[in-house]
Structures are given as C-alpha cells and as structure tokens.
Structure 1
Amino acid sequence: MNASAAWQHLEPKVAAINRRIDELEWEPSRRNNFVSYRPEMDSPYVEVDGERLLMMSGYGYIGLGGDERVAAAAKAAIDQYGTGTPGVRALAGTIPLHEELEAEVARFTGRENALVFSSGYAANVGTVGALAGAGDTVLLDKLDHASIVDGAQLSGATVTRFRHNDPRHLDLRLAATNPSGTRLVVVDSVYSMDGDIAPLPELREVCDKHGALLMVDEAHALGVIGATGRGIEEHFGGEVKADIKVGTLSKAVPSNGGWIVGSADFLQYLKRHARPFLFSAALAPAQAGAALESLRILDREPERVTYAQRESARFRQVMSDAGMNTGASQSAVVPLIVGSDENAWEFATACRKAGVVGLPVITPAVPPGLARLRIAITAKHSRADIDFAIDAFLTAARQCHLIGE
C-alpha cells in the first residue's frame, strides 16, 4: 500500500471536521475558536483585529495575569536560571526554584510535600497511571476532565463511569467492582464547563465504605472556592479530606504546570512511576517563578477570591432572572447554556459585535443539546465591566431569540 492509499482512511475524518468548521465559521466575524487575542496587561480587555473587546471567557480567576509582581518574578527567574532547564527533573533539570515552588504549593494546600509537573494534563495522566493498572478499577464522574479520562484509559485499569455528582450511583458502581485491586475514584472539585462543585463529604463517605481512594482535581478550585481560595476541602469547612489532590498552575495562577501534594514517601513513588513527570522536560524557570509569586500574592490577598465569588454570584442571579440557563453553577465558572451548537455560535458572534468575548463550547466537549458560552468572572473584572458584559449578553440573547424581549 502506498502513502496515498494509506491517507485515504484518514481523509474522511479530516474532511468532516473541516466541513463542520466551515458550517459554523463561514465569514470572519463568526470566527470564535483559535483566535489570536492581544491582551491589555492592566485590564480584562483584549484586542482582536483592531477591536477592543471585554474578555469574559478566560481563566485568570484571581486577576493576576499581567500583574507587575508576577512578571518581575518571571524575569528574575530567567536572569538567574535562563530560559529553560538542561534536562528532566530526575537528571539535570531540577533547580532550586522548583523546590521553592513545591514547598509553597504544599504549604498553601495544607499538605506535607508537593511535586510539580510540566502541565496539569501531565499531572492527571501521570498520577492516575501511577496509581492504577491491570487488575485495578478507576471510577470516574461522567463529567471528569479529558486528562483524567485519558489517564484512566492509558493506565490499563478497568474504567467505570458514574452519574455526575451522584454519590449513590458511585456506591452502586463500587459495590460491583473487584475489591482485591486498587479502586480509585477521581472527580473534579469544580467542573470546568458547568461550574458546579463535587459533593466531597458524601463522596468521602462512599469511598470509605468500600475502601476506595478518593482523588480530586483542584484545577478550577484553587483560587476559586473556599474562603481563601484553597479549594474544595476549605469550601466544606476543612473537616473532610481527599486522599489525593492534584491541580494546575495555569488557571487562577497565570503560569504553566501541574501539581500533586502528599507525603514524602508517596511522592518519591510518583517521581519514579508517573511517566509524564519522569520523561518530560522540567518546568521552565520563568513559569516556576511566576507561579511561586502568584501563590504568595494569593496567600496575602484573599480578598481577590472573595470579590470574584461575590461578583460571580451576582452575575449568575442576574442572568438567571433574565431567563438565561446557568445550569448548576456554584462558582466563578458560569455556563450560559443555549442548546444547539449553532445557537452557541450565533450567540458568541452577537456578543462579540456587542463588545464582549464569550466563547462557545460545543459537542463533543459538552453533550448534544447543551452547547453554551463558558463565562468566567475574575478579580480583574470591575463591577462596571461585569455590568457591561451583562448588558451585552442579554442584548445578544434577545437578538438570537434565546430569551424574550
């Protein structure tokens, strides 16, 4: 078989995705994915094709993107350590800044030690793969992030799904699993597309009943929930603990990287068995420096968390009262659910024309009929910015016949 014949098997898939993009983005004003945004460092505004637009679909929950202190820390790290590291962490890649960052992550999250990966995706894939394998069972919430799902599938363990945020269904699933192997339950603390929160106390009770480990991904919880932004355990009063906590340094923290916290012995095991950690280049110095300074600022300025929590609650209430479907959101992540993929695209395009970036999330990222704009309220958004966004969203929703006049 020649190369041309081999490509014939792939060509229908390539053609299908390009046809779908053409159906949604048939003119430049309708382009809503993979757009290049030029951010303003001191505001939540961005520039696109000469237009100044309010960004309402970013991740910077605590408003530190562009913060001069964070930028200075990144520059200082480059000055001291250069732009990269000369190897993986196990060989020549570890620098003192990595160890400083890991100590700060551990302290901030209330754990003994931490390990920093090159990305949050790598942290999830590596951790699940190191904890479970053939003969074990990984139980996943139906809406778990793709990195968790990929880690479970790559691990070689049996993978079982349970209904979203449903401890009773998890109980049934666990009762049907093999008790002789490791049983690992993995949930998101805050779900990235819906903004709702995992019921940690009930999940903990079910896991304890069956002798299962409970792992939580704090990617969208750090800096978002809990009185001081310390995540799901703080949100529930600190009385209930997860066995394993992982997270990222690219959501509330404006950097890159992922992390896991735990005992020294446990992390020694992960260093040698989490393949994405062992075989990936070490986190670049600038990213480590930026992450370290961001965590220290968050520790000193918890009012950033309080503000975003208060304003996201106000935003949800106003949008719900106006007839928009915000799902079960309880956090700074607020979906504006509009039904079909086409509705989401039309809505996003109308929002941009009204001066606001609200980005569409469509199938397969969300189930059919639940396409939405994924909105995030951050500490960088002033009250006036949020009011402007509310007006733009509601105006666009009326134009698209998503709500009444």
Structure 2
Amino acid sequence: MAPKLEATRRRIDALESDPSRKNSFVPYGIDRHSAQVELEGRKYLMMSGYSYCGLGGDERVVAAAKAAVEQYGTGAHGVRALAGSTPLHEELEAEVARFLGRESALVFGSGYAANVGTIGALCGPGDTVFIDKYDHASIVDGCKLSGATVTRFRHNDPNHLDQRLRAASPDGVRLVVVDSVYSMDGDIAPLPELREVCDAHNALLMVDEAHALGVIGRTGRGIEEHFDDTVHVDVKLGTLSKGIPSMGGWVVGSPDLIRHLRYHARPFLFSAALAPAQVGAALEALRILDREPWRVAHIQDQSAKLRAVLTEAGMRTLASETAVVPVVAGTDEQAYDYATACRRAGIIGLPVVSPAVPNTLARLRIAVTARHSEADIEFAGQALLEAARECRLIPATAAV
C-alpha cells in the first residue's frame, strides 16, 4: 500500500505546491443569497458549483426542510423496506414521477447509488451493457459490479454503437446507458439517433439526467423535453443534489420497473432512507422549479452568453451547449495555474485534471446557475479572460 499512498502524496503536492494553488476539499463559506463564497476573509464569485437552479438558499426550500425535521425528526428509522419509509418519501416519489412524466418513481440515497443499483438490478452475467466512453463513474462501477459484459462505444457516436451491438451476443438483456448532459464537456447525447439504434437491435436505453434536470428542455425536464418529447427512453434516472439542492437519486418508469428495483436494487434495499430534511427540501425545490421555469431559461441564456465571450476570445469550450462550460487550459499543471489566476481575478473556477480528463485537455469546469446575475456572468467572463491572458492561454491583446 505504501507506494500507492506515496504516489498520491507526490501528485497532490506537485499540483498544490503552495496554499494559493489548493483546489481540492476547500471549505468555502456559503452566502445563501448570492453566488458568492468566502475564503480566508475574501469574497469570490463561485463559478464551479452544481446548484444549477439557484435554490440552495431559497427560503421556501429551507422552510420545507425545517418543517420536515419538525414532523419526522433528524434521521431515518431504517431502510425503506422496513421502518424507514414515511409518507414524505412517498410524496416525493409521486412528485418526481409527475414532474418527469412517468407513472412511478423510486428515490435512492444518491445518484451514484441509483446508477449502481439500477444497472445491477437489470443486468447480470449473460447480459451486455453498452456505455458511452464518457459515461459517469457511477455507471462504469454499476456495470462492473453487475457481472454483465461491458462494451464501450465512442462518445456520442450512434454509428459506433450500432457496430458494437451488431458484434455482440444477441442473448440476454442488452442495455445501452448514456448521460444526457456530460458533466465535463457540457454536450448533449444524440437521443433520437441512439433510440433508433437501440430499437433496431432490441436494446433498452437508459439515460442519466444528473446534469440535465433543471438545465435542458423548455421547463428543465431533461433530454426528452429537449428533443420536444418526440423520443422517449426506457429507464430514466438522476440526482437530487444538483439542479435540486438536496441529496438523493431517483429512477422513474413503469410500476413494474419500480417494483422490481424496490426488491432488487441493492443500494436501495440495504441503505437507510433519506433523512427528512433532504426529502422535504427536494420536494419543495421540485415544486418551485415547476412553477418557475424562468430559472431554466436564465441558465440557458447566460451560459450561451458566457460561451460566446470565451470562444470569441480564443478559449476552447469544446462541444458545450449547456450550463456546463469547460474552459480548456491544457496540461494538469496549466489547469491549476489557470485556477489560481482566476482566484486572483475574483472568481472560483475549479480544475478538472487527469485521469478524469486527458492530460492534454485539463480544464476549468465552469457552471452557470440561476443564481448568477447578468452582471455576475459579465464579471466571470472578464475574469476568465484576464486569467487566461496572464497564463498565456490567449494573446495579451485578446478582447474582453
């Protein structure tokens, strides 16, 4: 074990060689009423947070969490199959299903658990799972733990998926799993083409909406709405910790599917139920998002403006078309240099480095939220370009 521990120490020490370069596990002070955070007595504009809908500090959400604690206490009484279920859990599941246009829903302890549990409940030895090269780690881990054969296809490439399906065994369950919005690139899965390929090969299509709920579609209902509800998926799941500012994961589908997951998804069956505060907060946030779709439009408008400012100045934002805006720096070291320069310019833009992304495509993962004002986005664009010029990622004469 010692060599592994030493390798980790050396890597972190090299990237975070002094306190100004520390980016992992930083305890930011949160301002509930703005997009700012506090670090060592200074205010910064947070540009790498996940709370897309800007509801984390909303008084209505906080009040709902408090009310849930007042009624149900601070923790669950066990797993959902035994003493852990409450009427509040069932109310949340009904709201998730209604919001996403399905008959039934099941809420897990996390989005990670939802992916691992769902894949493991649907597939096993003798089955085949086909996953996009850029799928989230929870999807990859769910595949490994299921015991099914795992086949990868090129990112957002339906033709390559078609080839993989043709070459695979026709026996058993054939499940294709993709993210709807990819968390590091900000691009969207080509759902109509994927659906066509899956139908041609009698394969199920499962989509992880973790970074899509509240972000894409006219009212934030995700990838099906993004494609005008002309195409549907067989299994849809996501999280309650990003667009919805709580904790937990969800799966929606037919009553038969949800019944099967209740009894066969091990992370659900053997984990304590969500705490009441989390359930209450998630339930209220979903209802607010339903009533306030302007939040989704704001995210989409402001992320498009920020992308335009960056790309016009020569920064690479890859194929982003959502609230997730990757700003490529180059090597891991360059990404840390860039993050440090951004902090000096007044914003927090956090680096994503290898092995999460290729070492040549290390980046800042920027995220636009409904909490960001137009002035915030203008300031962020100026800061990102100022830092990029300082790090020589763009010429010193590049326009702001």
- Identify the TM-score tier after normalising by the shorter chain: over 0.9
Q: What are the Cα deviations for residues 290-345 of structure 1, in whole angstroms up to 9, with x where unaligned?
A: 00000000000000000110010111111000110000001000000111000000
Counterparts of residues 3-402 of structure 1 (less than 5 Å): 10-402=1-393
What's the offset of the Cα at 1:270? 0.6
Q: What amino acid does structure 2 have at the position aligned with 1:201?
A: P
Q: What amino acid does structure 1 have at the position aligned with 2:306?
A: F
CA–CA distance in 1 between the matches of 2:257 and 2:376?
45
CA–CA distance in 2 between the matches of 1:368 and 1:138?
28
Q: What are the Cα deviations for residues 221-248 of structure 1, in whole angstroms up to 9, with x where unaligned?
A: 0000000000000000101000000000
Q: What amino acid does structure 2 have at the position aligned with 1:252?
A: G
Q: What amino acid does structure 2 have at the position aligned with 1:329?
A: S
What's the offset of the Cα at 1:49? 1.1
- Determine what percentage of the aligned residue pairs are the same residue: 70
Q: What are the Cα deviations for residues 92-145 of structure 1, in whole angstroms up to 9, with x where unaligned?
A: 000010000000000000000100000000000000000100000000000000
CA–CA distance in 2 between the matches of 1:105 and 1:224?
16
CA–CA distance in 2 between the matches of 1:33 and 1:26?
13
Q: What amino acid does structure 1 have at the position aligned with 2:147?
A: G
What's the offset of the Cα at 1:372? 0.3
CA–CA distance in 1 between the matches of 2:226 and 2:140?
25
Q: Secondary structure at the match of 2:145?
A: helix
Q: Secondary structure at the match of 1:90?
A: helix
Q: What amino acid does structure 2 have at the position aligned with 1:102?
A: E
Q: Secondary structure at the match of 2:8?
A: helix
CA–CA distance in 2 between the matches of 1:150 and 1:336?
27
CA–CA distance in 1 between the matches of 2:142 and 2:231?
25
CA–CA distance in 2 between the matches of 1:202 and 1:317?
28
CA–CA distance in 2 between the matches of 1:39 and 1:303?
24
Please, what is the CA RMSD of the aligned residues? 0.5
Q: Secondary structure at the match of 1:74?
A: helix
What's the offset of the Cα at 1:368? 2.3
Q: What amino acid does structure 1 have at the position aligned with 2:336?
A: W
CA–CA distance in 2 between the matches of 1:14 and 1:79?
44
Q: Secondary structure at the match of 2:84?
A: coil
Q: Secondary structure at the match of 2:151?
A: strand
CA–CA distance in 1 between the matches of 2:358 and 2:204?
28
Q: What amino acid does structure 2 have at the position aligned with 1:134?
A: P
Q: Secondary structure at the match of 1:215?
A: strand
Q: What are the Cα deviations for residues 74-100 of structure 1, in whole angstroms up to 9, with x where unaligned?
A: 000000000001100000000010000
Q: What are the Cα deviations for residues 132-188 of structure 1, in whole angstroms up to 9, with x where unaligned?
A: 000000000000000000000100000000000000000000001111110000000
Q: Secondary structure at the match of 1:397?
A: helix
Q: Secondary structure at the match of 1:374?
A: strand
What's the offset of the Cα at 1:403? 0.4
CA–CA distance in 2 between the matches of 1:119 and 1:33?
21
CA–CA distance in 2 between the matches of 1:374 and 1:254?
19
CA–CA distance in 2 between the matches of 1:323 and 1:387?
17
Give every structure 1 segment of 4 or more consecutive aligned residues whose post-TM-superposition deviation is greater than 2 Å.
none
CA–CA distance in 2 between the matches of 1:64 and 1:121?
22
Q: What amino acid does structure 2 have at the position aligned with 1:132?
A: C
What's the offset of the Cα at 1:51? 1.1
Residue number in structure 2 paired with 1:4: none
Q: Secondary structure at the match of 1:369?
A: helix
CA–CA distance in 2 between the matches of 1:400 and 1:185?
41
